[in-house]
């Protein structure tokens, strides 16, 4: 499975690509004019990443107020 495809190349295979990323932890980057535009990712992997990010944010120190304008 390619790691990157143009949206035009991916369009006829979108169901197969979605099934592949759903069944694996592989990601597929979709490009427009050679630049990343979107990423197909396993939903469980996305949920794990979001949970990790939320956990990390709770551990960041509170922002300190800046100087008054």
Q: What is the pLDDT along the chain (69 residues), one digit of tens a residue?
A: 779 999 999 999 999 999 999 999 899 999 999 999 999 999 999 999 999 999 998 988 888 887 765
Which CATH number does the domain housing residue 36 bear? 3.40.1620.10
- 63 in a structural domain: no
Q: What is the DSSP string of 10-52?
A: HGGGHHHHHHHHHHSS--EEEEETTEEEEEE--HHHHHHHHHH
Contact residues for 16 (Cβ-Cβ < 8 A; gap 6+): none
Residue 65 within a domain? no
The domain of 34 spans 4-58
Q: Decide: helix, strand or coil at residue 27.
A: coil
Does residue 46 fall inside a structural domain?
yes
> Is residue 67 domain-resident?
no
- The pLDDT, as a whole number, for residue 9 is 96
Quote the number of domains for the chain. Answer: 1
């Amino acid at each position: 499975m390619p790691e990157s495809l143009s949206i035009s190349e991916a369009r006829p295979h979108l169901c197969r690509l979605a099934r592949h990323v759903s069944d694996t932890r592989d990601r597929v980057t979709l490009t427009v004019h050679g630049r990343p535009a979107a990423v197909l990712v396993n939903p469980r992997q996305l949920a794990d990443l979001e949970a990790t990010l939320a956990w990390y944010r709770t551990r960041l120190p509170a922002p300190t107020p800046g100087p008054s304008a």
